[in-house]
Amino acid sequence: MLTHAQIWHALDRLAARSGLSASGLAKKAGLDPTTFNKSKRITPDGRARWPSTESVAKSLAATSTSIDTFVQLIDDSGRAPVKASVPLIGLPQAGKDGYFDDAGFPTGTGWDEIPFPGVNDEHAYALEISGNVMESTYRDDTVIIVSPAASIRRGDRVVVRTRDGEIIVMELKRRTAKSIELKSIGPEHKERTLQMRDVLGIHRIVWASQ
């Protein structure tokens, strides 16, 4: 008998093997981008919400995947797969339209890919630093791995996306319900305060090449 966890696990693996996030898979299948989001898998009263047969069929068609292959993607663990690679894009490009979906996850076809086994976050992505603005911490061509699923605490280095398309790489100094305070990781050590209403997402940097 198939379980709720097994079906969602198979959809997550289908997305990963196609180089997509769960929301990216839904969008490619012509569905609402939030259809496969983890927040949609359990109802507000705690009941399991199953993907519809139609949404699974559309996902298989969009990725040219047979039903036999989909069955093979199901296993008994019910856990999301550990990614062997992550999508990569240059930091200057990341602020342009089309590279992140409404949930703040990588989407579109403009991404490259780099091998990085062991990332336990299906939405993890990589950014390549350009220039010497952050040279005391990140040199030109440094690649940083960013995990939207990672918890964030004061002192963590983070990537912040704003509503006006700005991508900011700084250290989290303080966060409240209404604002966040950021500290520069460059040589000038400037600080910046943003209102939460102007922030689309805050993701923790979990690794950097040196």
In the chain, DSSP assigns E strands to 83-90, 112-119, 125-128, 143-147, 157-162, 167-175, 179-183, 191-195, 199-208
pLDDT of the residue at 109: 80
**Superfamily of 4-72 according to CATH:** lambda repressor-like DNA-binding domains (1.10.260.40)
pLDDT of the residue at 207: 87
Nearest to 55 by CA among 20, 23, 21: 23
8 Å CB contact between 104 and 148? yes
Read off the tokens for 201.
């997402």
pLDDT at 2 over 60: yes
If pLDDT is split at 50, 70 and 90, which confidence band does 210 have?
low
The verdict on pTM exceeding 0.85 is: no
Read off the tokens for 30.
């012509």
pLDDT of the residue at 183: 93
> What are the tens digits of pLDDT across the range 156-208?
999 999 988 899 999 999 999 999 999 998 777 689 999 999 998 999 998 88
Read off the tokens for 116.
């990085």
Q: Return the domain boundaries, the chain.
A: 4-72, 86-208
**Superfamily of 86-208 according to CATH:** Umud Fragment, subunit A (2.10.109.10)
- Strand ranges across the sheet with 199-208: 112-119, 83-90, 125-128, 143-147, 199-208, 157-162, 167-175, 179-183, 191-195
% of the chain with per-residue pLDDT over 70: 92
> What are the tens digits of pLDDT across the range 13-58?
888 878 888 888 999 999 999 999 888 888 887 888 899 989 999 9
Taking residues 103-117, report their average pLDDT: 82
> What are the tens digits of pLDDT across the range 50-95?
999 899 999 999 988 888 778 777 754 445 455 668 899 999 888 8
Taking residues 128-153, report their average pLDDT: 87
Beta bridge partners of 192: 182
pLDDT at 147 over 80: yes
